[in-house]
Amino acid sequence: MKKKIILALSLVTIGLSGCGMASGSSGDVDPDMLIEHIKATEDLKEETAVYKFRNASDEEAEKMWERQYAGEWIYDVGEVSSEDEFALFLGKVIACFGMNDSLSSDWENMYSYPIIVENEQGEELLIEIYHGSGGPSYSIPIDFKDDEEKEKYEQAAKALVDHIQSSEPADYELETVYEDIPVNVKYSVKNGVAKAESEFPEDLQ
């Protein structure tokens, strides 16, 4: 039993060294710190595993209209290095939840995915992932009955966005138009590489 414990601690030490958490020989590492690190890692895995995600049915999606929903941008203004990230995000949404009938050529209403997020308590929360005038966004209710319900929705929305962001994108191609300018915008992902291509009218001043 002691040999197995020593071997396990040695393997973790190697892993921690690669993460910059430990240096030098294994004798420099505090076993208590290793145990705490292992526990923290296990806690993180459990935290990310408590949520389940699926496409909402048409009947479930209709319930959005029974409450007041409001959106939040997933990428804050100024944080996005290029619109390729918007294209990549859609590829990840498609990988997680497939293509749906909402995919549109209207850039400001490019897609809408009503998603059911089931939390640890077995509660099913309806959250929308969509592309609006500010790019990729999520929508949750704002008519909360109390702070506890608000926190549940906010945590579920964060878990959903993290789930999408951690996924590998699916290949796709979608041509859209940003009518305000107007400009043609084509989003695509091929072999994991996202691209956003814009084509402006020749007579645009």
- Evaluate whether 50 touches 120 at the Cβ level (below 8 Å): yes
Report the length, in residues, of the chain.
205
Where residue 132 falls among pLDDT bands split at 50, 70, 90? very high
User: How far is Cα 186 from Cα 105, in angstroms, rounded to an integer?
Assistant: 9
**Residues in CB range of 33: below 8 A, 6 or more apart:** none
* Spatial CA neighbour of 184 closest among 202, 166, 169: 202
Where residue 131 falls among pLDDT bands split at 50, 70, 90? very high
- Paired strand residues for 56: none
User: Cα dihedral sign for 162, 164, 187, 60?
Assistant: negative
Q: Mean pLDDT of all residues in the chain?
A: 81
What's this model's pTM, rounded to 2 decimal places?
0.74
CB atoms within 10 A of CB 104: 15
pLDDT of residue 182: 87
